Every structure is written in C-alpha cells, then in structure tokens.
A and B are shown apart, each in its own frame.
Chain A
Amino acid sequence: MRWHKIYGLSLRHIYLIRSSFPRILDLIYWPSVQVFLWGFISQFFTLNSNYYNNTVGVILTAAILYDFLFRSSISYNMMFLEEIWSRNFTNLFIAPIRISEIIAALTMTSIVKTLIGLIPAVLLAIPIFGVSIFKLGVPLIFLLIGLYLFGISLGLFVTSGLLRFGPSFENIAWASLFFLAPLGCIYYPIEILPGWLQVIAKGLPLVHIFEEMRNILINQTVNTVEIVLSLAISGVYFILGVITFYTAYYGAKIKGTLINIGE
C-alpha cells in the first residue's frame, strides 16, 4: 500500500469536513443527543431497577459504545455515497489507486469522523450524568477496536452492495445497523433472546462486546476470552467484508456499473 495515495484520498474527505461547519455540527449533534436521551433513561433505570442498582451508567456506556459502532459504519458508507452523489465515482476509479488503498483511506478517515462526533459526547456524559466510559479501563481499547472493525465490515458489505447494484442500495446503508441492533444485545443480556436467536447472536461480535462491557461494569471482572473472541469474530467479518468488496468491484466491472453510477 502506498501511504501518499491513501493520504491523497483521505484529504478529499478531510477537506470536505473542514469546509462546512454544519457538517461538523451534524457529526457532533447526534451522538450528543444519544447521550442525553440514554443518560436520562439510564438515571431512571438506576433508581428503579435492581439489576442496575449499583451500576450507574451501564445503559449509557452501552449507548455510547453502540453509537461508536453506528458512527464508524455510517461514516464509511457516507464517504462512499459522497462519491456517488458528487458524480466523482468514475474519476476515482480511473485514478491509479488500488482497491486496498481505497479501503484503507475510507477506514482511516471514518475513525476521524467518528471521533469528532463521539469525543464531545463522551466528555459531556462525565459532568452531566457522572458516567465515564473510561471506567472500563484498558479493555475499553479492545472493545472499541472490535466495534470499529465490525462497523467497517458492515460498511464494506453495504458499499459492496452500492458498487454492485448502484445507488438504489442506499436505503440498505441506513437500515443495516438497525437490523442487527436487536441481535447485538446492546441494552439487555443475551438470555432475553429466545434460544435459537441466541445461537445466531453469538455469531456476532456485538454480543460478546456488550456482555463483556456489562461484566466489567457490574461484576468488576475482566473476561479476556470474551474480548479475544469478540476481536476474532470482528476480524473474520472484516476479512469477509474485504473479500465481498473485491468481488463486488470485479462484478461491477463486468456489469459496467462503474462508469455510469451516480444519482
């Protein structure tokens, strides 16, 4: 991979973010709204639920982590959609840049976009609700890596669909995470799900990440196996995502969609 090409493509998105205050505001606004909404719900449950009795912020921490996943995936999809909306797609694909470099540039830029939105929300939660995700300690880093890898994997699946089927696939971009959220056991333990759904849910890294988050906050213990498992599953999804993207790219070349994809 050539870093100057990755930087060149990343620059296109950094310029875009920098050029528009409403864009930056939009990045910050939704995570902050989430923090307020789930912060108040979290406070209510803390006062009225035995399960959450001594664990202030379990729900809010889950909400913040889920938002991190959501933003990383949506950022990835949005950057790809930007190329379609701006009718820049052909220019990009005739430039001497490899697919791996496009994936790397989008992956790196989406972390920047995600953090722009999330850092203010995380910092807001500390004084307003007395909740800090940093209470998760060192495992937080690994949980975030797992979430990020999975978020990017979903982004890769969705952008593969956009490559293959064109902009009509756009709605799937928005729906993809909402579809998986119930199975992710973000706000509730996996035991709530029916047995057969538990089997499916365990195939997602989300269950392991959010179960471990609850384990750390409620039981004050760290289950390394769960963390490693979540990273491994996320890694598998990421590899599948990359393979799917390459397959879609070569499929699009056969189908001829790269030359006329656009609004």
Chain B
Amino acid sequence: MDIRVENICKKFNDVSAVKNINFIAKKNKTLGILGPNGCGKTTTIGMMLGLITPTSGQIFIENKDIKKIDENEILCQMNFASPYIELPKKLTVRQNLEVYGRLYGVDNLSNRIIEISEELNLNAFLHKKTGELSSGQKNRISLAKSLINKPKILFLDEPTASLDPDIGDFVRNYIENYKSKNEITILLASHNMKEVERLCDSVIMMKEGQIVDRGTCDDIIQRHGRDNLEETFLKIARSKNEVA
C-alpha cells in the first residue's frame, strides 16, 4: 500500500510540531524517517496512525483520503511497534497475542499465533507473563503483536532500541526476511543509522518539523560529502535549516 502525505501541518497551541511536509512511502518499500529528538517524527507517525488530527493537509492511503473513509478499514491494514508502548504486563504473551488478534479480526488466530511464535522464537515464554520478560523478549513480542494481522503498512519506532547487538541483529534480519516474503510497506523511525542504511530503501530527514533532505541513503551521504549516514545525520542536525 502507498502512503502519500500532502502538506501536513500540526500545531499544538502556537507551537508548530510539523510544518507543511510532503512525502510518499511507496508500496512494498521501507521509508526511514530520521531526525533529532523533537523534530516531529512521532507526531508524523501519530497522524498517519490516526492518533493525532492534523491541523491541515491530507494523508492518502492507496489514493484514498483517510478522512473520507472508515478509519477502522485502514487500521485493519496497519500496525505499529515501539519500545515506548507496551502490552499489558499481567497477561501472558499468548493472551496478549490472542487479545490483539481478536481486535484485528485475524482469521485462524491460533495458527497465526503458532506461526508468529515460531518465527520470532517466542515459544519458550509464550505462557509467561509479559511483564516478567527481558527487554529483548518484550521487543520481539511487540514485533509479534505488530505483525499478528499481517499488516500491509507497518510503523516501526526504534525497533532495536535498548537491545543487545545479537538480538538487535536478529530483529533486523527478521524484518528483512519478512519484507522479502510479504507485501508490506514499512515506515521506520530510528536513531540507529546503520540499521537505517541496512533496512531502508529511502529516507526523509526531518528537523524542527520540516523535511530537510530526502532520497536513498547513498544519495544523501553523497550529497553532503560524508562517509556514512551517521556523519550525514550529524551534519544536517547541526546545520541551519534548508528545506528539501
């Protein structure tokens, strides 16, 4: 599914969090949303997820204005994972997957839970309470929840934050493999530039609510005359605004 964001603005009282941004997340591609803290990434994702109402502008999914169609129809096709939101801690992993599977109206839910548990190595703690697990395990459960409905659009916010290199690599491999086997558009917000270089087909760089650069990682690195995306990120973050 394509996502097209047109002239989106969001003001909280008098503060502009997002200023007239435009971008397209192409079908079956991964778009990285990069930028320093407070640049408007979360607000942008929140608007696409329907959690925040834009002050102005439009968001189209498959060329349909999301304001004009049933929100639930779109939400069925989406999902979101972030280490900053959690699943109920007192429920077991299986119970959480079952609850969300039902909310997303997943067919053959038991089979889907078995399938995703095997893929993400959750079987060993499927019957443990979610709150009793390590952050690496919770992270994989969050990913499992976000894929329970086989979404066509997946939002990932810092999918490997606070993970050790081994589990971080497992998650990145999993996302890569999943994407190769499924029709899915991924929007990835991350501060891990190596992860972005590895997973993203293209990126948008945000700063102070605006998009200041966009393109493939190689294009952006080249344009700024740096060796890697991390250095490019630092250059952009520390420079004066130049809207792309």
The answer on a CB contact under 8 Å between A90 and B85 is yes
Chain A residues near B198 (CB-CB < 8 A): none
The answer on a CB contact under 8 Å between B52 and A7 is no
Give the CA-CA distance A134 to B197 in the complex, in Å: 70
Chain B residues near A4 (CB-CB < 8 A): 102, 105
The answer on a CB contact under 8 Å between A8 and B86 is no
Smallest CB–CB gap between A26 and chain B, Å? 13
Interface presence of B100 (CB below 8 A) = yes
Smallest CB–CB gap between B10 and chain A, Å? 8
Known A5-B105, A250-B53; judge A94-B98 contact (CB<8 A): no
The answer on a CB contact under 8 Å between B90 and A16 is yes
Within 8 A of B (CB), among A72-95: 82, 86-91, 93-95
Smallest CB–CB gap between B71 and chain A, Å? 8
Give the CA-CA distance A91 to B87 in the complex, in Å: 8
Q: Identify which of B28-36, B73-81, B113-121, B168-176 touches chain A.
A: B73-81
The answer on a CB contact under 8 Å between B103 and A97 is yes
The answer on a CB contact under 8 Å between B88 and A255 is no
Smallest CB–CB gap between A21 and chain B, Å? 12
Known A5-B102, A94-B51, A96-B103; judge A15-B95 contact (CB<8 A): yes
The answer on a CB contact under 8 Å between A11 and B102 is yes
Interface presence of B200 (CB below 8 A) = no
Most chain B beta-carbon neighbours within 10 Å: one of A5, A98, A250, A256: A256
- Chain B, interface SS category: mixed
Q: Contact string, B190-231, partner A, CB cutoff 8 A, digits 1/0? A: 000000000000000000000000000000000000000000
Most chain B beta-carbon neighbours within 10 Å: one of A86, A89, A255, A260: A86
The answer on a CB contact under 8 Å between A94 and B78 is yes
Known A4-B102, A11-B102; judge A97-B72 contact (CB<8 A): yes
Interface presence of B46 (CB below 8 A) = yes
The answer on a CB contact under 8 Å between A256 and B100 is no
- Chain A, interface SS category: helix
The answer on a CB contact under 8 Å between B75 and A88 is no
The answer on a CB contact under 8 Å between B46 and A96 is no
User: Of B17, B75, B88, which is within 8 A of A86 by CB?
Assistant: B88
User: Of B46, B76, B80, which is within 8 A of A256 by CB?
Assistant: B46
The answer on a CB contact under 8 Å between B85 and A256 is no
Chain B residues near A260 (CB-CB < 8 A): 42
User: Of A2, A20, A88, A98, which is within 8 A of B86 by CB?
Assistant: A88
Give the CA-CA distance A88 to B86 in the complex, in Å: 5
Interface presence of B23 (CB below 8 A) = no
- In the assembled complex, 6 residue pairs joining A and B whose CB atoms fall closer than 8 Å, in A order, are A8-B100, A11-B99, A87-B85, A94-B80, A96-B71, A262-B85
| B contacts, CB < 8 Å to A | 10, 12, 17, 42-43, 46, 49-53, 71-73, 75-76, 78-80, 82, 84-92, 95, 98-105, 129, 145
Q: List the 10 closest pairs (A to B, CB-CB), nearest first.
A: A8-B102, A96-B75, A96-B72, A95-B103, A87-B86, A259-B46, A90-B85, A253-B53, A12-B99, A96-B76
- With A7-B102, A15-B92, A260-B42 given, can you name 20 additional A-B contacts, CB distance below 8 Å? A4-B102, A8-B102, A15-B91, A15-B99, A16-B91, A19-B90, A87-B84, A88-B87, A90-B51, A90-B85, A91-B145, A94-B51, A94-B80, A95-B100, A96-B76, A96-B105, A256-B46, A256-B52, A258-B52, A259-B49
